[in-house]
Copies of this chain bind each other. A is one copy, B any other.
Amino acid sequence: MAQITMAKALNTALRDAMEADDRVVLLGEDVGTLGGVFRITDGLQKDFGEHRVMDTPLAESGIMGVSIGLALRGYRPVPEMQFDGFSYPALDQVISHLAKYRNRSKGAQAMPVVCRIPYGGGIGAVEHHSESPETLYCHTAGLKVVTPSSAADAYSLLRQSIQDDDPVIFLEPKRRYWAKQEVDLPVATEPIGTAKVLRPGDDLTLVAYGPMVKVALDAADAAQEEGVGSLEVIDLRSLVPLDEETLVASASRTGRMVVVHEAPEFLGMGAEVAARVTEAAFFHLEAPVLRCTGLDIPYPPARLEEAHLPGVDRVLWTVQRTLDF
């Protein structure tokens, strides 16, 4: 088995998808000659040509609007937003058109667009390069929102997203791009919409996704060693569709749950998970579902991001609060 980074897995998924279907095209800022600022599209323009991999003018709304037009022409566009903080100019196109077009055509017109967005912090970047905008997309009906935490899932979920006839916001945890995993590509993991129990446990369920999955797993290991308890770790993998069944089953068994994410707490994914799980598992819960998240502040300067982001210590502290409840 080969050691593969998430970046390489994403690059391979795009290559394989483009070979499998010549209607798959990539577009965005610097995705061509440069191969993207994170090199996720590295080498693809050279091999597939200037229109299959298009360097666009610097205009995110334009990139999204043009992708919608390309989808109407029968293409399967995979636009890239260079960073989370620069996906906002495209929000109107996403909310008003991408998410609604199928519904507005009474189901006649598919919108197979996959919008790739490197997201999240922890890389010491300057402002606007470390945001976690998932709530904006998850609240928008008509979209699917997918985020991998491993190289294998990165490959498989991106391939599935490109095959999906619904628009997908594909959130790539940029701080995990260079993390390696033993995997042979191509690989097929569970379908979009299924969460995955990465580590079984009995005392409490840790829910995470994307960049926080590693933190949750490390916290679970630490909890084991320190005798805090046996923690189950669930990787959501897709935020919409949300795998409520797996969450409720786990919470019903452990009776305790903590949701971890980088995004601010207020109306972050933790709120939705807590509300749903509490409704479905009310009589099984021994403590409220607690949230361990970024603070309700704009993303701070790099020298302060470590304090803002949930780390193993803060996760364990929140776990302890839940156990003590």
* Contact A270 to B266, CB < 8 A, known contacts A141-B297, A298-B100: no
Output the nearest chain B residue to A136 by Cβ-Cβ distance: B136
Give bound CA distance, A89 to B61, whole Å.
9
Give bound CA distance, A91 to B92, whole Å.
8
Among B88, B242, B282, B291, contact of A95 (Cβ-Cβ < 8 Å): B88
Q: Is A264 an interface residue (CB 8 A)?
A: yes
Q: Is A231 an interface residue (CB 8 A)?
A: no
Q: Contact check, B298 vs A275: say whether CB atoms are below 8 A apart.
A: no
Give bound CA distance, A104 to B85, whole Å.
15
Q: Contact check, A96 vs B103: say whether CB atoms are below 8 A apart.
A: no
Give bound CA distance, A91 to B61, whole Å.
12
Among B139, B288, B297, contact of A136 (Cβ-Cβ < 8 Å): B139
A106-151 interface (Cβ within 8 A of B): 127-128, 135-136, 138-139, 141-142
Task: Report copies per complex.
Answer: 2
* Contact A275 to B282, CB < 8 A, known contacts A136-B136, A264-B139, A266-B139: no
Q: Contact check, A271 vs B267: say whether CB atoms are below 8 A apart.
A: yes
List chain B residues, Cβ under 8 A from A91: 88, 91-92
Q: Contact check, B278 vs A274: say whether CB atoms are below 8 A apart.
A: yes
Q: How far is the CB of A120 from chain B (nearest CB, A)?
A: 15
Residue from A141, A271, A275, A282 having most chain B Cβ neighbours under 10 A: A275
A selection of 11 A-B contacts at a CB cut-off of 8 Å is: A100-B127, A103-B298, A104-B298, A266-B272, A270-B275, A271-B272, A271-B274, A271-B275, A278-B289, A279-B289, A282-B325
